[in-house]
Amino acid sequence: MDHYFQVFYEAAWSASIIPLSSDAAFQAMRLFGGYDMQFAVFLAVTGATLGQIFNLMLGKFLLTFHRKNLLYVSDYWYARVATLFNKYGVFLILFSWVSILKVILILAGFLDTRIRFVLPLIVIGQLYHYGQYLL
C-alpha cells in the first residue's frame, strides 16, 4: 500500500509548479509487476488534479494581490492576456500535465477562471497522461 501512496504523493507534487515527475514510480510498478495499475492511475489522477488545483488557487491568491494594488498589472495588459487566454489558453489546460504548461493554471487562476470550468479539463488531461500506463 505504501507504493500506491507514493504514486499519489508524486503525482500531486509533479502536478504542482514544482518540477518533479511521477513517471519513475509507474515505470517501477510496471517493471516489478503485481500492482493494480487501475488503482494506481486513479490515485495519480486524483493527486495530480489536487496539485493542479493548487496552481489554480495560487493564481487566485495572486489575483487578490492585484485587486489590492500590491501586484500591479495594467488594465491594458490584463485585458489583452485575458483575451488571448480565452481564445487559446482554454485548450492548453488539457495539456497542463506537460511541465512547461503548468503555469497556464496559475494564469487561469489570476484571470479568475471558475474551477467548475477548469476541473473537467484538468481531469481529462490527467486521464490522457496517466492512461498510457493502462495499455
Please tell me the predicted confidence (pLDDT) of residue 19. 63
> What are the structural domain ranges in the chain?
2-134
Measured between alpha carbons, how far is 55 from 57 in angstroms, rounded to an integer?
5
What angle do helix axes 103-110 and 115-131 make, rounded to 10 degrees?
Answer: 170
pLDDT tens-digit readout, 8-65: 887 887 777 666 677 777 788 888 888 888 998 998 899 999 999 999 999 999 999 9
Task: Tell me which DSSP letter residue 62 carries.
Answer: H
For the entire predicted model, the pTM comes to 0.84
Classify the phi-psi angles of 73: left when phi > 0, otherwise alpha if psi is within -120 to 50, otherwise beta. Answer: beta
Using pLDDT thresholds of 50, 70 and 90, give the confidence band for residue 101.
Answer: confident
Measured between alpha carbons, how far is 82 from 89 in angstroms, rounded to an integer?
9
What angle do helix axes 115-131 and 37-67 make, rounded to 10 degrees?
Answer: 150
